[in-house]
Amino acid sequence: MLQIEDFVNAQLYKNKDAVIQDALRHLLRSRPDLRVQLAIYRYQQEPLSLAKAAELAGVSWWQMRDILLEQGIDPALGPETIAEAQAEVNQLRQYLSDRS
């Protein structure tokens, strides 16, 4: 059986992390169902936007919303409080002023 070290020792990759990252990238390309499940998991565990979850899953925003709903997960669509909305506005203003 192949070992991670074989790829590094053969100088095909710089280190073990590079081998693992490439293997994971290929796994997710060949198994889109895993991408979706991973995006759902991260959406539930992290403060992840619906758009970012959709990007991770490799689907559109609308598809991701539908996937979450099918799984019984209510997608967070925008800020829940006025304070959260104001914080988003402030962050956007800061971002735009930094770019000027």
For residue 58, give the DSSP letter: T
Say which residue, 85 or 50, is predicted with more confidence: 50
Q: Is residue 9 included in any domain, yes or no?
A: no
The tokens of 20 are what?
A: 């693992």
Longest dimension (CA), the chain: 57
| pTM for this entry | 0.69
Could you tell me which of 71, 31, 36, 30 has the C-alpha nearest to residue 56? 36
Number of domains, the chain: 1
Question: Per-residue pLDDT tens for 53-86?
Answer: 999 999 998 999 999 999 999 998 777 778 877 8
pLDDT at residue 25, rounded to an integer: 95
Compute the distance between CA of residue 74 and CA of residue 68 in angstroms, rounded to an integer: 7
Q: Is residue 38 included in any domain, yes or no?
A: yes
Residue numbers of the domain that contains 66? 31-99
Q: Is residue 76 included in any domain, yes or no?
A: yes
Q: Is residue 46 included in any domain, yes or no?
A: yes
* pLDDT level of residue 100 (50, 70, 90 thresholds): confident
3-class secondary structure, 79: coil
Compute the distance between CA of residue 99 and CA of residue 18 in angstroms, rounded to an integer: 33
Q: Is residue 92 included in any domain, yes or no?
A: yes
Q: Is residue 73 included in any domain, yes or no?
A: yes
Q: Is residue 40 included in any domain, yes or no?
A: yes
Say which residue, 81 or 4, is predicted with more confidence: 4
Q: Is residue 70 included in any domain, yes or no?
A: yes
